[in-house]
Amino acid sequence: MPRAFEFFHQMRKKGLKPNVVTYSTLIDAFCKEGMMQQGIKFLVDMKRLGLLPNEYTYTSLIDANCKAGNLTEALKLANEMLQANIDLNIITYTAIIDGLCEAGRIAEADDIFRAILKAGLTPNVQIYTTLAHGYMKVKKMECALNLLQEMKEKSISPDLLFHGTVIWGLCNWDKVEETKFVISEMKESGLSLNPVIYTTIMDSYFKTGKTTEALNLLEEMWDLGIEVTVVTFCVLIDGLCKTGLVLEAINYFNRMPEFNLQPNVTVYTILIDGLCKNNFIEAAKSMFDEMLSKNLVPDKTAYTALIDGNLKHGNFKEALNLRNRMIEMAVELDLPAYTSLVSGFCRCGQLQQAREFLDEMISKHILPDEILCIGILRKYYELGHVVEAIELQNEMAKRGLITSPVHHVFPSVQT
């Protein structure tokens, strides 16, 4: 990009006049690098020289601004196009519809889509996919499914991405059974499910308590020779752990090398968390040590899972050691980590330690949520530390950490 910029200025110095194509190419390059403001400056510059931007010029800027969430600027540029009697093309419309959908303005996106049809323009698969994604985000599943029929009527063949988008939406709203219709439509069109779609459906089966169906789907993948990915194993291990089938989860974890896959930090973290939540704390510690032995660097989620597990088993020293190790390894404690520490020590009656972590997190501008605040206050009152509880309650109220009425739970706050 710097070389192109320098070349442009050399042209100007030598008296050569850049044309619309030169400007448009540079503007497009700036946009693809995320330098929209520089692109806008070049747009202003070319207008000043009497050069008229074309649809390619505007589309680059509109698309980039939509992707960056600058919808107001994108719509302003689109209006500028229309005022200059430049028709918006399908690519421009797709960018705007995508921007509106991402902003949750699905009604406006739908209006533009219908305007495209009235204007006699033929939408492509990408614009249908964009709109389907928008519908699914706001739970308008029927509208997304209607697009499938509409495309068939217009002899537009939905591709794998479109079907995957609709399946993702149905699974996202726990309508996994409805995916069977979409899958049958795919097969009629000669399309096969890919690993992403299989994994999405498997995840939904687990989340809706249909463990058998999830495992049957895994068997189907193997039977059809569909690639099983690390993400697939993440979903599988997580689903089994949350169902209480920890031994099965460990079994699948151990089988990963059969598929030329090695567990990464995410896989280990999911299993460690599952082991902790199912009271297999010693196995969780072993998994953590194994991860370290493979030179994998645990992230804050892995540390938090093991800290939480240790505290639930009363292993205060080990929990503190893990917290200290996080600091040594420059792993920043976040809200979940502090929440585990405060609630864990509080639950076991270690109020001084819990209070120290509470003060520490607040000093770092990591604010506890109201549930955590009420939990620690309840423990103070429960253990008879009424004076300290009232002082802490007053402090929390002044900080705005407790916003709902709490007088029915605690003694009145003295202000």
pLDDT of residue 413: 47
pLDDT of residue 28: 81
pLDDT of residue 40: 82
pLDDT of residue 322: 96
Cβ-defined contacts of 207-211 (< 8 Å, 24+): 207/174, 207/239, 208/174, 208/176, 209/243, 210/176, 211/239, 211/240, 211/243, 211/245
pLDDT band, residue 245 (cuts 50/70/90): very high
**Separation of alpha carbons 186 and 168, rounded Å:** 14
Percent of the chain with pLDDT over 90: 68
pLDDT tens by residue, 386-399 = 999 999 999 999 99
pLDDT tens by residue, 139-169 = 999 999 999 999 989 899 999 999 999 999 9
Res 307 pLDDT > 90:
yes
pLDDT band, residue 13 (cuts 50/70/90): low
Q: Which of 101-105, 126-130, 409-413 has the lowest mean pLDDT?
A: 409-413
Phi then psi for 191, rounded to 5 degrees?
A: -100, 145
pLDDT of residue 318: 95
Res 407 pLDDT > 60:
no
Mean pLDDT for the chain overall: 90
pLDDT of residue 414: 47
CB-CB neighbours of 281 under 10 Å: 18
Instruction: Give the single-character DSSP code of 68.
Output: T
Tokens of 164: 């995957």
CA torsion 74-78-83-85 (nearest 10°) is 150
**Separation of alpha carbons 103 and 408, rounded Å:** 40
pLDDT tens by residue, 246-304 = 999 999 999 999 999 999 999 999 999 999 999 999 999 999 999 999 999 999 999 99
Q: Which of 6-15, 113-122, 346-355 has the lowest mean pLDDT?
A: 6-15
Q: Which residues of 33-44 are buried (b: 16+ CB within 10 A; e: fewer)?
A: eebbebbbebbe
pLDDT of residue 271: 98
Percent of the chain with pLDDT over 70: 93
Ordered alpha helix ranges (H), 259-334: 265-277, 281-293, 300-312, 316-328
pLDDT of residue 37: 81
Across 96-114, average pLDDT:
92
Sign, CA torsion 28/30/34/38: negative
Say if residues 342 and 376 touch (Cβ distance below 8 Å). Answer: yes
Say if residues 164 and 128 touch (Cβ distance below 8 Å). Answer: no
pLDDT band, residue 406 (cuts 50/70/90): low
The answer for residues whose C-beta is within 8 angstroms of residue 9's C-beta and 6 or more apart is: none
- CA distances 161 to 2, 167, 186, Å, are 36, 10, 11
- 19 or 307, which is more confident? 307
- Predicted TM-score (pTM) of the model is 0.83
Task: Indicate the helix (H) or strand (E) that contains 65.
Answer: helix 55-67
pLDDT band, residue 228 (cuts 50/70/90): very high
pLDDT band, residue 8 (cuts 50/70/90): low
pLDDT of residue 4: 55
pLDDT of residue 128: 95
pLDDT tens by residue, 313-326 = 999 999 999 999 99
pLDDT tens by residue, 28-64 = 888 888 887 888 888 888 888 888 888 888 888 888 8
Nearest Cα to Cα of residue 322 among 332, 307, 308: 307
Nearest Cα to Cα of residue 147 among 159, 131, 164: 131
pLDDT of residue 15: 58
pLDDT of residue 287: 97
pLDDT tens by residue, 65-89 = 888 888 898 899 899 888 989 888 8
